Structure formats: structure tokens, C-alpha cells
């Protein structure tokens, strides 16, 4: 039986997969484990009544688990791992904080209106730390095999690439070649291609925050 999962629909295109990196993380986990799932695209600007009845907070992603709807991508991926342990995506516990500040730093830099506020340097420092980690432990965060940490980071790095490229003409420096190769290899996976939002929807999703 297919797992039911609710994710964000694209801004202005409710029948198309949207740009939520946390929704993509859940879909990537299901894809990598070859778990069949039924997708419900939720228009977050006009949430359907049935969705709010099963999930009053109205957040995505949510997954149906033993007749209960469960929210929060952190909780969901742990549940998927427990129920479908093969292939294992359990990360090395020593590495759980690797890359954990990249998304926050990216958002701060994306929203920044002041080129001297240090937000670009903070993001570069996080990316450099990831590059150094990959030099010692790569090609993935936990070595030879992909793990839940990579599946959490991949959608965030995709947003970083698309949004900073569009709004700031910025890209990951050539000097961080291991990060660039890491991104390229993650984005080339079948699971990623199948679950990513089109670039124009990533841009549409960030535009209100950038212009705020």
C-alpha cells in the first residue's frame, strides 16, 4: 500500500510540485528507499478543508502513518527509516551537525540589503567548512554512501544555487570544488530529478521574502 504524503504545490501552479525543501527531503527519502507513495499537492495559499481537518496547523510536509497524520520532516524521516530500514540512510552520529547552518546563512544572505553586513562571509565560512569535511570524509557527508544528512542538505543547496544565482548573480566559488562536485552529484541522482521543483517555482517561492 502506498504511503500518503502531503507536500507544497508550486506558487501559482497548484497541480505542480512546489518549492518546499523540507517536502523534497521527505520525497527524496521515500525515493531512495523505493517506498511507493501517493502525493497530495497542497496549495498553501488556499489549503483544502480536508487537509486542515487532518492537520489543523496546516504545515507541510505531512505523512499518513498508521491512520495518523504526522508533521515535521525531522520526525517523518526517522519514521521512514524505522519502518523501511533498507537501504540504511542512518548517518554517522558524529557528523549530524555538518552543514546544519548552511540554510540559515543562505537565507540571511539572500534577504540582506547591505553588502557589508557579513552575511556573505558567514555563508562562505559554512560552505568552506563543508568543503573541508568532504575533503576528509567524502564524497558524501558520511563517506561512500548517501545518508539522511545528504538528503536534508541537497534541497537546501539547490535553493541556494537557484535563488542566489537569480537574485544576486552569486554562485559557490570555484575554489570550493568539493562542494560544487557534491552538489552536482546530488542533483544528478534520479531521486533528486524526480522530486525537485522547477527553477522558476523556487524563484517565485523566494521572491516575496527577498522583496520584503
pLDDT band at 66 (very low <50, low <70, confident <90, very high): confident
pLDDT band at 2 (very low <50, low <70, confident <90, very high): confident
Alpha-carbon distance of 85 to 33, in angstroms, equals: 8
Average pLDDT, the chain: 96
Query: What are the two backbone dihedrals, phi and then psi, of residue 16, each rounded to the nearest 5 degrees?
Result: -120, 145
Q: What is the mean predicted confidence (pLDDT) over 71-83? A: 96
Per-residue pLDDT at 1 exceeds 80:
no
pLDDT band at 179 (very low <50, low <70, confident <90, very high): very high
Q: What is the mean predicted confidence (pLDDT) over 175-189? A: 98
Cell readout for 164 is 542566489
Q: What is the mean predicted confidence (pLDDT) over 185-212? A: 96
- Residues 78 and 33: beta-carbon distance below 8 Å: no
Instruction: Return the bridge partners of 174, or none.
Output: none
Per-residue pLDDT at 81 exceeds 80:
yes
pLDDT band at 84 (very low <50, low <70, confident <90, very high): very high
Q: What is the mean predicted confidence (pLDDT) over 185-196? A: 98
Which domains are seen in the chain, by residue range?
3-83 (3.40.30.10), 93-210 (1.20.1050.10)
DSSP string, 154-173: HHHHHHHHHHHHHHH-----
Continuous segment of H or E residues that includes residue 48: none
Per-residue pLDDT at 50 exceeds 90:
yes
11-15, 20-24, 72-76, 180-184 — which is least confidently predicted? 11-15
- Residues 127 and 178: beta-carbon distance below 8 Å: no
pLDDT band at 211 (very low <50, low <70, confident <90, very high): confident
Catalytic residues: 20
- Residues 153 and 102: beta-carbon distance below 8 Å: yes
pLDDT at 202: 97
Residues ≥6 apart with Cβ < 8 Å to 130: 98, 99, 102, 176, 179, 182
Task: Tell me which residue has cell 495559499.
Answer: 45
Amino acid at each position: 500500500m502506498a504511503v500518503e504524503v502531503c507536500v507544497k504545490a508550486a506558487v501559482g501552479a497548484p497541480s505542480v510540485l512546489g518549492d518546499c525543501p523540507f517536502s523534497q527531503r521527505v520525497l527524496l527519502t521515500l525515493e531512495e528507499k523505493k517506498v511507493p507513495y501517493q502525493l497530495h499537492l497542497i496549495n498553501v495559499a488556499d489549503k483544502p478543508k480536508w487537509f486542515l481537518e487532518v492537520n489543523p496547523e496546516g504545515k507541510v510536509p505531512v505523512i499518513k502513518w498508521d491512520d495518523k497524520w504526522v508533521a515535521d520532516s525531522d520526525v517523518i524521516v526517522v519514521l521512514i527509516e524505522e519502518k523501511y530500514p533498507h537501504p540504511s540512510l542512518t548517518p554517522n552520529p558524529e557528523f549530524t551537525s555538518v552543514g546544519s547552518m548552511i540554510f540559515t546563512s543562505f537565507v540571511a544572505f539572500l534577504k540582506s540589503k547591505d553588502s557589508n553586513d557579513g552575511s556573505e562571509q558567514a555563508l562562505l565560512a559554512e560552505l568552506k567548512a563543508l568543503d573541508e569535511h568532504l575533503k576528509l570524509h567524502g564524497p558524501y557527508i558520511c563517506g561512500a554512501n548517501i545518508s539522511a544528512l545528504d538528503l536534508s542538505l541537497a534541497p537546501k543547496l539547490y535553493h541556494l544555487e537557484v535563488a542566489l544565482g537569480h537574485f544576486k548573480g552569486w554562485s559557490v566559488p570555484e575554489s570550493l570544488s568539493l562542494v560544487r562536485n557534491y552538489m552536482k552529484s546530488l542533483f544528478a541522482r534520479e531521486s533528486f530529478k524526480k522530486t525537485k521543483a522547477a527553477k522558476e517555482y523556487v524563484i517565485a517561492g523566494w521572491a516575496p521574502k527577498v522583496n520584503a
